[in-house]
Amino acid sequence: MGERIFFAIAAFGVIASAVGVITLRNPFRAAVALIVSLLSVALIFLLERAPFVAMIQVIVYAGAVVVLFLFVIAYLGDKPPAVGPDPLARYQVLAWLVIIGLGIEGFLALGNSRLPGIRANPFQVSDIGSPRAIGRAFLDSFVAEFEGTSLVLLVAAIGAVLLARRAVLGERGR
């Protein structure tokens, strides 16, 4: 019973802070709401007995990514953007129709799904989220995807260095 209460509190924290990320006007407060949302997700991972994934959630997302967001927000300042007429305003009705259609399609897909656990009890999983299970998944089942991701990240890092070098040379070595 205590796990359900703790899950409900964590789930409410995720939803409320995610709404805060979207609705808050102050970028610093939105970033803090994002941190609360990510920490609440980490609590849900802890409830699911996946402490490694929970720690990665805290270290990588709440720690590194949000701190990077805060540095960018601090660097750019809190100047409001120059707001003009929205060029996409005429497509707003079409966008809402697409969103509603995708939502209906998602509910239909879930209703017709044969995934375990949707209509019956899910399979018991004993070793999910541990370092051993994650390492086994990376190096046994998903080695091609893992290496492909590392290659894409390497190409992105090289591209960022080349673009930064071009910008520095364009400013005469500044």
Over the stretch 107-119, which tens digit does the pLDDT of each residue have? 888 888 776 666 6
Q: What is the mean pLDDT of residues 130-144?
A: 78
Structural tokens at position 91: 């497509």
Q: Which two tokens stand for residue 125?
A: 């999983």
pTM of structure: 0.52
User: Within 10 Å of residue 79's Cβ, how many Cβ atoms?
Assistant: 6
pLDDT in tens, 14-41: 999 999 989 988 888 888 898 899 899 9
Domains of the chain by residue range: 1-78+129-140, 142-174
Topology (CATH) of 1-78+129-140: Four Helix Bundle (Hemerythrin (Met), subunit A) (1.20.120)
Distances from the Cα of 154 to the Cα of 56, 147, 148, 158, angstroms: 21, 10, 10, 6
CB distance 83 to 71 below 8 Å: no
Q: Are 96 and 89 in contact (CB under 8 A)?
A: no
Give the pLDDT confidence score for residue 37 in this predicted structure: 92
Mean pLDDT of 123-131: 66
